[in-house]
Structures are given as C-alpha cells and as structure tokens.
C-alpha cells in the first residue's frame, strides 16, 4: 500500500511540470506511440509475464523531457494496459496499484539518470561513457524497481516468496528495459534539441518497429523451437515407454532413433544404430520363402505384414511390422517410422490352436468313421449269424416233418453242422476280439514245429480248397527250427490266412504256402493269385471291423476280425505280420515272421503232436 501511495504522490508532484511539455509535438508523439504500442504485448520465452514495446517510448520521454513527463506517461500507459484485465481481476485497488507502482519506479530511475547525466545534457547531448553509463543505470534501476514492485503484489496475492515470484515471472524481462534505454539514447543523440525531435522520432519509428518485430520473431522462433524440442522429448518419452518397438529414419533412410523395445528385438543399441541404413539394422526375411535381405519398405506403407527378424548374432524372431512415411506441412518426406512387435507367443498360440483344431477334426472324423464301422459291424454280425440260423431252422423243420429219406437226413445233418460251425466261428472271433481289447488273451507256450499248426489249418480247410478246385503248393525249408509258441493260436492264425486266401481266390486259382528260416526267425508266406487288395485299403487291412467292402450286400462274408486276431497273436509271440498286394486283381501275400526264441516267452514243453500230412 505504501508503494501505491508513494507512486500517487509522485504523479501528483509531476503534474505541475507537465504543461510546458504537452505542447511539444515530440512528447505528444511519444504519448501516441506509447498508447498504440501498449496494445502489442507479447511474452518473452520462458517468462510468465507479458511486456510491450511502450517501455522504449516512456524511457525516451524520461531522457528527453525529464522525470515528471515520464512519470505521468508511465502511469497513463500502465492504467491503459490494466483495463485489459478480466472483469474479476479489474478491481479498483489493482488498477490503482498497477498505475502508481510503475510511476514510482520511473520517477526514481529518471531522477537517478538526471543525477548521473551531465548538467547540460538536454541542451547538448554527448555520446560516450557520459551517456552510456547513466542510461544503463537508468535501465537497471527501472527494471529492478518496476518488476520488484509488481512482484511484491503478486507474491502477496499468491502467498509465495518474493524471490520465487520475481525469478519465475520477471527475471527474463531485463532485455526489454535495456533495449528501451538503448533506443532512447539513440533517439536523443540523433534528435538533438528543438523541433527536430519529432521528425527524428518519426524517421526512427520504422527502425524501432523493425527491431521489435525482429526481436518478436526471434522470440517466437525460440518458442517454437523450444516447443518442438519439448514435443520431441515428449514423443521420445512416450515411445520409450511403449511396448511396441519403434524405429525412426531420416529421408535417406538412416536410423535416427530406436526405443528400448526396438533395441531388444533388433539386437542393436540406439547409439550403435544411429546413422546406419535401416535395412542393415532392421534385417528381415520372408517367413515362408526365407528370402534374405528383404526390404520391407519396398511395399506400400500402413500395411501390417509378418517377417522373420534376423539379429546380428543370427538369432531370429517372428515379428509383425508396419511402417509409414513422415512428411512435413509442405509434403516433403522427413523420414520413415517403423513399428514392430514380437509375435512368437502369438504364433505359438495360433499353432497350438490349429493343432487343437486339427485334433478335433481328426477326432470327429474318427468318431464318424467309428460310428460307420459300428453300423457296418452290426450289419455284418446280423448277416453272419442270421444266414446260418435261417439254414438251421429250415433243415430242422424238414427233419421234424419226417419226410426226408436216409440220404436227405444225412444232407440235413451236414448242413446243420456247417451252419453251426459258421456261427461258432463268428462267436469265437467275437470272444477273441473281446479278450484282445481287454488284454485277456493268453498264450500257452511250448516247443512247437511251425508246420504243425500250418498243416492242421490246411487239413481243416481241405474240403473248401477241393470244392473251389484250387491248386495248393507247399514249400518247406529243410531242418526248420523249433520255436516257443502256442500251437492252437498259430493254427488260428494260419486258418484265418488260408481261409481269406480261399475266400478271395476264384475257382481254379492257386494258393502257395512256404516256410523258411531267416535272420533268427521262421517266416511263413501265404500267397494267392486272387482278388488282391486295393492300395488305399492296404494300410487298414489289419484294423478290426475294417473290410474293403463294408456293405452288408458284399459278396464275401465275415466280420473283418480275422486279420485283427492274426496280427495280435503274431505280435504277442514277438513276431510281425505284413500284407502285400500289387493291386486289385493281382493277388495278395501275407508274411508271418516268428522269432525262434522270443524274449521272455521261453518254454520247456514240447509239442509232441504228429506233423500234419501235407498234400
């Protein structure tokens, strides 16, 4: 409050000395320039307070016309600028303080200038230290007092310390006061005295405007540069914290920036990568063709693509990449921005998902196949059991009627026996398959000559062979070794193989059975020149319930279990069975390989049954 009162006193004290001055055209010109320039405020870079060009004209008034004229002019200028405050801030006390405090500062500073300047200064302005030193003292004192008085008011309103407020708001405004003092000194030296002052001021006005315009432009450029640097710093901070890798290049496609994620993925540090060609740092290859040294920027930008990123240590990483050009306001290319990320985990998840989908599809297909096979199996079982049952019922009715003679009764009994045997075979296969599934099929091992079960199987099937007029050839190597095996199960194996050969060989065809010693195994081949096996069905020939013709209208009967039992029995002996065929109509060959002494299956029992009489 004391500052405002003192300022008001200085204004009142200065008013009596004003009338002789106001008639001077130079002073009136300075008043007009002060008011006009006071409207052109701008903020200096880093300052939180605005300033105006009017300081140059108020300081010129102080130098040319003395403290009284300058004090009143400053008060008028400050009051005019205060009117631009918002309605809430435009209080009477603030307007009063804003007008009186600068007036007090000007009155003190102008008095100091008068005290230091030569006595005859205004009569004859002289250059040199006699003018420069007073002007600098004037500028410094006016700056300190003016900014200090206003800072005191701001500090009181904001409840902050005076040094902090002064440093934050006003410290950088010293430049304008010293420029104002310099302009005032220049005007004084050029104008001299008399009516020429106004002409010089008018002539120098464009120079002052140009100087301030240049200063304003420089300040704006500095501000823009500072904002640009701040923006770059903000972008760099943001890019540094993002999880995606970012790489920037210049127009020549030289690396200018890499964030930590890009450093981690590429294997290059930001410092080492700067200035290098982007294709040397961002080395990728096509994930499908593996084409090396691929230039990802050769395609159009803003398109997401997958690549394999190759690091300097030759390690690789699956990435997803997108790039785009950076252009300025004129459309000129400023560089490229690359964004990419590690998608190895995503690829693994996709591969796992595809594998699960494939497994699901395979399981569905297997379920559909199994369901179809079940239907086919039930149809086959029904057919295989119903056919002999129908025959049994028919012959039983004839026998019950008593109308058959002796020959008819014999024929009926033979038919009943064949039908019952057919049903027994089907049921035995079902029982054996059930045991195989449950792992309950047991072997009774003893020392066995392989040709014993082979001969018994041939003897059992001899009527069927003769009925179709098939030619049977048997070849046995001399001194065939004795093996440890279950002869009953081997007889079942060879019966199934021979039964299949008879079933699928047309009348008059040929079946060959051979046995030999080979690589610590006894090998038995059953070969025919019959129907053969289609190549598409050959891999499934030993699967249970699988038949090349699965319909219940097929020509040949059976449940499709015989070969499944064959494989299980042979493999239970430690051996292997193989099916070969050159195609439909070209016959088939089944090869059984039985080890002479299968590990863990040795037996001291000897099969003493007589060898089969071979045809």
Q: SS3 letters for 363-424?
A: HHHHHHHHHHHHHHHHHHHHHHHHHHHHHHHHHHHHHHHCCCCHHHHHHHHHHHHHHHHHHH
Q: Is the pLDDT of residue 219 over 90?
A: no
What is the Cβ-side half-sphere exposure of residue 381, based on CA atoms within 13 angstroms?
Answer: 13
Q: What percent of the chain has pLDDT over 70?
A: 72
Fold for the domain defined by 442-595: Heat Shock Protein 90 (3.30.565)
Distance CA 404, CA 411 (A): 10
Residue 577 DSSP class: E
Distance CA 412, CA 418 (A): 10
Distances (CA, A) of 558 to 113, 384, 394, 422, 592: 130, 7, 22, 10, 21
Give the model confidence (pLDDT) of 323-339 as tens digits. 888 887 777 888 888 88
Give the model confidence (pLDDT) of 78-116 as tens digits. 777 776 666 777 777 777 887 788 888 888 888 888 888
Q: Is the pLDDT of residue 23 over 70?
A: no
Q: Is the pLDDT of residue 516 over 90?
A: yes
Q: Is the pLDDT of residue 17 over 80?
A: no
Task: Name the one residue in this structure whose structure tokens are 């020509």.
Answer: 555
The CATH architecture that domain 2-226 belongs to is Orthogonal Bundle (1.10)
Backbone CA torsion sign across 536, 538, 543, 548: positive
Helix 92-116 × helix 129-158 angle, to 10° = 160
When the candidates are 2.40.50.140, 3.30.450.20, 3.40.50.920, 1.10.10.10, the CATH number that belongs to 244-342 is 3.30.450.20
Distance CA 277, CA 275 (A): 7
Same fold, 244-342 and 442-595: no
Q: Is the pLDDT of residue 301 over 70?
A: no
Q: Any idea where the domains of the chain sit in the sequence?
A: 2-226, 244-342, 349-432, 442-595
- pLDDT score at 472: 93
Q: Output the 3-class SS for 521-549.
A: EEEEEEEECCCCCCCCCHHHCCCCCCCCC
Q: Is the pLDDT of residue 221 over 70?
A: no
CATH class in words for 349-432:
mainly alpha
Q: Is the pLDDT of residue 590 over 90?
A: yes
């Amino acid at each position: 409050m004391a500052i405002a009162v003192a300022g008001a006193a200085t204004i009142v004290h200065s008013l009596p000395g004003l009338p002789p001055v106001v008639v001077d055209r130079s002073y009136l010109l300075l008043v007009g320039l002060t008011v006009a320039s006071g409207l052109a405020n701008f903020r200096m870079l880093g300052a939180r307070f605005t300033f105006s060009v009017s300081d140059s004209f108020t300081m010129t008034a102080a130098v040319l016309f003395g403290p009284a004229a300058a004090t009143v002019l400053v008060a008028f200028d400050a009051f005019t600028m205060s009117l631009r405050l918002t309605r809430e801030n435009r209080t009477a006390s603030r307007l009063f303080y804003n007008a009186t405090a600068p007036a007090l500062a000007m009155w003190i500073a102008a008095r100091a200038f008068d005290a230091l300047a030569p006595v005859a200064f205004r009569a004859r302005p002289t250059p040199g230290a006699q003018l420069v030193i007073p002007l600098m003292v004037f500028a410094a004192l006016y700056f300190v007092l003016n900014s200090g008085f206003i800072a005191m008011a701001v500090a009181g309103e904001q409840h902050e310390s005076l040094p902090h407020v002064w440093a934050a708001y006003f410290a950088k405004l010293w430049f304008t006061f010293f420029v104002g003092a310099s302009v005032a000194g220049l005007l004084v030296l050029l104008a001299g005295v008399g009516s020429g002052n106004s002409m010089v001021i008018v002539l120098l006005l464009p120079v002052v405007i140009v100087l301030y315009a240049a200063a304003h432009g420089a300040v704006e450029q500095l501000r823009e540069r500072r904002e640009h640097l701040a923006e770059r710093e903000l972008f760099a901070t943001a890019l540094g914290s993002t999880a995606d890798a970012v790489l920037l290049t210049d127009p020549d496609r030289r690396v200018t920036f890499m964030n930590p994620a890009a450093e981690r993925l590429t294997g290059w540090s930001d410092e080492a990568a700067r200035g290098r060609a982007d294709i040397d740092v961002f080395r990728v290859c096509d994930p499908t063709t593996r084409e090396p040294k691929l230039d990802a920027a050769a395609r159009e930008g803003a398109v997401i693509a997958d690549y394999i990123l190759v690091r300097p240590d030759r390690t690789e990483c699956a990435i997803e990449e997108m790039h785009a050009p950076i252009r300025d306001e004129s459309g000129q290319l400023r560089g490229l921005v690359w964004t990419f990320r590690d998608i190895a985990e995503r690829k693994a998840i996709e591969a796992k998902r595809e594998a699960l989908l494939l497994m699901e599809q395979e399981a569905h297909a297997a379920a559909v196949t199994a369901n179809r096979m079940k239907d086919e199996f039930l149809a086959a079982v029904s057919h295989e059991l119903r056919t002999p049952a129908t025959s049994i019922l028919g012959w039983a009715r004839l026998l019950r009627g008593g109308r058959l003679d002796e020959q008819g009764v014999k024929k009926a009994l033979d038919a009943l026996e064949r039908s019952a045997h057919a049903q027994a075979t089907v049921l035995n296969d079902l029982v054996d398959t059930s045991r195989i599934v449950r792992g309950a099929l047991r072997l009774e091992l003893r020392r066995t000559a392989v040709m014993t079960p082979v001969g018994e199987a041939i003897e059992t099937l001899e009527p069927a062979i003769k009925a179709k007029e098939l030619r049977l050839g048997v070849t046995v190597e001399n001194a065939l070794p004795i093996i440890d095996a279950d002869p009953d199960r081997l007889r079942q194996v060879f019966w199934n193989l021979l039964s299949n050969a008879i079933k699928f060989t047309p009348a008059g065809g040929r079946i060959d059975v051979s046995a030999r010693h080979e690589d610590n195994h006894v090998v038995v081949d059953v070969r025919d020149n019959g129907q053969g096996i289609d190549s598409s069905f050959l891999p499934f020939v030993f699967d249970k319930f699988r038949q090349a013709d699965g319909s219940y209208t097929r020509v040949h009967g059976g449940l499709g279990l015989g070969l499944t039992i064959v494989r299980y029995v042979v493999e239970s002996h430690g051996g292997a069975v193989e099916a070969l065929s050159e195609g439909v109509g070209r016959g088939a060959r089944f090869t059984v390989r039985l080890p002479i002494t299968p590990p863990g299956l040795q037996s001291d029992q000897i099969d003493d049954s007589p060898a089969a009489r071979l045809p």
